[in-house]
Chains A and B, each alone.
Chain A
């Protein structure tokens, strides 16, 4: 989405210290989105959050559940309103709205997981970043990861792909691979309400 600056995955919501994927304790897998409030609103992100997953069935584990972790009273109120709106069209949703305690960054190999799984794209992109932290924090990596995961209209636009994909410096062939995946979710009608 325009306005998203950085995405990182990690763990939060629990009480254990320094969780890892193998020792996640009572935490949940989460994504942290840094965004420019001049371009994107919290309500926009909440709309994408509810459009992007289906919490109609209660999660079987704490690790995988639906939750909004708010930082302010304004965010809590906005999340509550968004949950109410979503439930009007879908029925009861098992989404928790709770205060953020601390976000623990996940291991490097979890960051931009979809991008890493596309070996041709990853092999061209990764050398442009000086280290793993820069890769994790890269706006371009966030864009590529989302497009390769099949997002388009739900979290961006075809126009955004055409505007930004050439900026990545990837070869034409690899750009075409990205284009083939961007929007796949919408095309097959999954996860879109």
Chain B
């Protein structure tokens, strides 16, 4: 089995969240039952 490339994954790996700058992201919460 081909192994995933860790370097490629890092481009889509969280967190780009900067917890020191909470205005850089927001959170939304939903129930969709």
Contacts and interface: CB of A to CB of B under 8 A. Distances in A.
Contacts of B6: 128, 169
Interface string B1-32: 11111101101111111000000111111111
B29 A167 contact: no
Contacts of A71: 27, 29
A134 interface: yes
B33 A33 contact: no
A3 B25 CA distance: 10
Contacts of A49: 30, 32
Give the interface SS of chain B, mostly helix, strand, loop or mixed. loop
Contacts, number: 121
A181 to B, nearest CB: 18
B30 A33 contact: yes
Interface in A122-155: 123-125, 127-129, 134, 137-140, 143
B9 to A, nearest CB: 4
A111 interface: no
Interface in A152-193: 164, 166-171
A29 B33 CA distance: 7
Nearest to A44: B28
Contacts of B17: 5-6, 34
Given A61-B33, A65-B33, A66-B32, 16 more contacts: A5-B25, A12-B29, A30-B30, A30-B31, A31-B29, A31-B31, A36-B16, A37-B25, A49-B30, A64-B33, A75-B28, A127-B4, A128-B9, A129-B13, A138-B13, A170-B4
